[in-house]
Amino acid sequence: SQQGEEDPQALSIQEGENATMNCSYKTSINNLQWYRQNSGRGLVHLILIRSNEREKHSGRLRVTLDTSKKSSSLLITASRAADTASYFCATALLKSGFQKLVFGTGTRLLVSP
């Protein structure tokens, strides 16, 4: 079964609005990462938050992590049409020092002009 589950599965907003996506996971993690995938392309890394961090910012992105609830959220502020993509959370599990990334099923974001 998937380690991470994103919510909602799909999100449709207007340009300028904020978009919030949530990720829940099941086991202890070393870090949590968010990726973006444009249609027909590979995934692109957005941001990494370590298990001892609670919040992280990168440009218009804000990520929070609540390890007690095993959940994370990705906020995209002032969305643009170019933000239209699928967004995936990936939990990093450590095995003998090796980081294994386990992906969720993703949130499809549509930003309309």
Partner 1 sequence: DAGITQSPRHKVTETGTPVTLRCHQTENHRYMYWYRQDPGHGLRLIHYSYGVKDTDKGEVSDGYSVSRSKTEDFLLTLESATSSQTSVYFCAISDRQPNTEAFFGQGTRLTVV
Whole-angstrom Cα distance, residue 13 to residue 11?
7
94 binds partner 1 (CB under 8 A): yes
43 interacts with partner 1 by CB under 8 A: yes
**85 is a site residue for partner 1 (CB under 8 A):** no
**Shortest Cβ 17–partner 1 spacing (Å):** 25
Residues 3/91, Cβ–Cβ less than 8 Å:
yes
Q: Which amino acid is at 97?
A: G
Q: How far apart are CA 77 and CA 63, in angstroms?
A: 11
Binding test (CB under 8 A) with partner 1, winner from 16, 28, 50, 78: 50
Residue choice 26, 41, 57, 80 for contact with partner 1 (CB under 8 A)? 41
